[in-house]
Structure 1
Amino acid sequence: MTKSKLYQAVELFEEVLFVGTEVIHREISHNLFEHVSRQQFDLLNSLMIKGPSSPGSLAVLQGVHKSAISNRIKKLLEKGLVEWDANELESDKRSKLIKITAEGEKVINDGNAACFSIIENLFDDVEEEKIDTFIEILTMAKEKLTTKGESKE
């Protein structure tokens, strides 16, 4: 594969993510985002995927200042969607991990169900073999990125 084809694929993937995110947020915002903001939903989603995390690592992941994450965590704590990890023994919140609650998982699952419904309608006429190829490519990318991420720790 030539680099120009790879660049074309990456640019197209970025455009699909960008436009797809806009469409999905617009389609589900009236139900989902009346209780949590998009940023809070993204933080919950990060915790769902990554597991208990420090506020600092969440700030890096979301590309925002720690004070923005602290504010989001505070609001999510008040809503019962996250909690401080009880396994942490230290009383210093800077070293504690935040984790998603069962209620937070329900918010993510509801959002994902709405998202998958939209995507399913977009691709209901795509051949299964093409979906299989797409899964293979994304699985390979995930494995390579995971390996690369683990080698830097």
Structure 2
Amino acid sequence: MDQRIKEAVDLFTEVMVYGTEKVIKSVDHPLWKEYSPEQLQMLKLISKEGQVTSSRLAVLQAVHKSAISSRIKKLLQKELIRIAETEDKRIKMLEITEAGSEVLEQSDRALTEYIEKLMSEQIEDKEIDEFLVLFRKLKEILKMDGV
């Protein structure tokens, strides 16, 4: 195995795990106190998917379907998502509401402001450009692989 790939995977994992923890602890916004990171991530996924089943959300969030049910219930109660009208009444598709989109937009803005401050103090513009090129390429590779 190429040691560079192993190091890249290890670094990516560390950034995801410890970065997520740091962001959750550091972003000071009322939404981040009202909603869990998992609920906000679910809103993001529903928004990106357009309409999605709870089973698909469980796969995307890498959790058991029972964990998804609780999150869905809370988001439905707060009217951030709704059950979409579909031709096949047996399939329950979820979609984001306007209120959910507003919550997501506020959360994204708070996160972007935090990351921008963090990066502008420690990372050069050229490095940000290199990061974007690499992650765009990685995203395309993953999309082509059916993920």
Q: Same fold judged by TM-score > 0.5?
A: yes
SS of residue paired to 1:84 = strand
Q: Residue 146 in 1 paired to residue 143 in 2? A: yes
CA distance in 2, matches of 1:35, 1:127: 34
Q: Which of 90, 93, 103 is equivalent to 2:99? A: 103
Is this contact kept in 1: 2:83–2:95, CA < 8 A?
Answer: yes
Is this contact kept in 2: 1:28–1:111, CA < 8 A?
Answer: no
SS of residue paired to 1:39 = helix
SS of residue paired to 1:33 = helix
Unaligned runs of 5+ in 2: none
**Count of aligned residue pairs for this structure pair:** 146
Say what the alpha-carbon RMSD is for the aligned residues. 1.8
Which residue of 1 is the match for residue 134 of structure 2? Answer: 137
CA distance in 1, matches of 2:73, 2:144: 33
CA displacement at 1:30 relative to structure 2? 5.6
Is this contact kept in 1: 2:29–2:110, CA < 8 A?
Answer: no
CA distance in 2, matches of 1:106, 1:30: 14
When the two structures are superposed, what TM-score results if normalisation uses the length of structure 2?
A: 0.89
CA distance in 2, matches of 1:143, 1:112: 22
Q: Call closer, same or farther: CA 1:34–1:130 in 2, change over 3 Å.
A: closer
CA distance in 2, matches of 1:14, 1:65: 21
Which residue of 1 is the match for residue 11 of structure 2? Answer: 12
Is this contact kept in 2: 1:82–1:98, CA < 8 A?
Answer: yes
What per-residue deviation string (whole Å, max 9, x for no partner) do you get for residues 50-74 of structure 1? 2211111111112222222122112
Q: Read off the aligned partner of 1:33 and give its amino acid letter.
A: W
Q: Residue 49 in 1 paired to residue 48 in 2? A: yes
